Each structure stands twice: as structure tokens, then as C-alpha cells.
Amino acid sequence: MAAPETATLKNLNGTWVMNKTLSSPSDPPLTLQGISWLLRKAIGLATITLHITTYTDPADSSFHIDIVQPGVGNLGGTTEKRVLDSSEREHTDHIFGHVKGRSSWVTLEEVGMEDKEDEAWLKEGWLEPKEEDEGKFVKSYVESVGNGWTATQIWGFAMIGEERRYVRRAVVRKGPKVERVRLVYDYKGERPAGQ
């Protein structure tokens, strides 16, 4: 389902489900990230659901995006707490292991990647951000601690077919190997209470 007109990067509140038909295959980047065959297959079969809450912390005016991804079957869930202040933070989960990363607001001119093909991929196909997002996109950078891969994502909205969709474009690198993927999400409504 298309993103509602009220959805912006500062208002992603709700439940979003990855549309596997419209998204790039997940297996190549997960392979590059060293995810086991069994776990890749489980992820490939799972319905990837994100319960997102966005808010500004009144204590310091920092913007937060909290994402709860519930477990499916034997695949445990994960929680991401992103603060868009460019500060590096560490996180550990059962899928990607120990990582460090940072999130920030950027214009497309500020995406800045060493590899120009990576940069072009991350900048491609976006709708102009809504006024509430002040011309900015979310940039997320994650680096594996000990496994040698990095992942850079740009989040925004794009027209897919005739519908406005929440989209993430990502570049995953490990040494000279690279995978470029597009993740497209269906809006499923309000986040369930208690999640």
C-alpha cells in the first residue's frame, strides 16, 4: 500500500512491511555481510515488518527514529534506536553482530561517497522531500566491528509505479565487493499498541 500523504521522514509513525516484489533480493547483500545461509533463508521467507516511532527529544531537541522489528518463527526480533545527530553509536544484534554507526539529515548534495557510482545509486529516483522534512533525507552509515563490511543508506520517498512509497537505497561494501539494493515498503497503518 502506498505511503499516506501525511507520511514524511519526520512522521514515519506506523507499521511498514517490506514489499519483496518491488525490493531488490536480500540474499546478495546479506551474503556479503557474512550472514549464514540458514539465517539468509529464514530472512528470505520472513515478512519483514517495521514498527516505527519518530519523535523529537524535548531535553536536547534531537530527532529520534525508533524501529522495532518483531521476530517471526525462530527468527528473533531486533530494535534500532537512531538519533539523527551524526554521533557514532555502537549496537549489537543477533543478525548483524557488533556494529557502529551514525545517522543524520542530508540533502542529496551532501550524500558524498568516495565511489561515484555508489553516490549516483544513492541519489537516484527520489521525490522532493515534503516541507516538513526541510529538503532533507535520512543518511545512515553502519560499519561492522570485526567483519569488514560497511552499509550506507539513504531513506526517503519515491514514486514506484503510480504510488508514493517509503524507500531505502543502500550500498553494502566489503573490500572490493559491492551490492547496491533498493528496499520498498508498504504502509500497513498505525503501530499496534504496546509495540
Does residue 195 register a pLDDT over 50? no
Superfamily of the domain at 14-189: Calycin beta-barrel core domain (2.40.128.20)
For the stretch 128-169, pLDDT in tens is: 998 888 889 999 999 999 889 999 999 999 999 999 999 999
| Local structure of residue 8 (DSSP, 8 states) | B
**What pTM did the predictor assign?**
0.91
Q: Which of 101, 112, 181, 99 is nearest to 148 (CA)?
A: 99
Q: Are 61 and 54 in contact (CB under 8 A)?
A: no
List the domain boundaries for the chain: 14-189
Q: How far apart are CA 27 and CA 31, in angstroms?
A: 6
Question: Confidence class of residue 102 from pLDDT cuts 50, 70 and 90?
Answer: very high
Q: How far apart are CA 46 and CA 76, in angstroms?
A: 11
For the stretch 65-89, pLDDT in tens is: 999 988 665 566 788 899 999 999 9
Confidence (pLDDT) at 69: 85
Q: Are 179 and 189 in contact (CB under 8 A)?
A: no
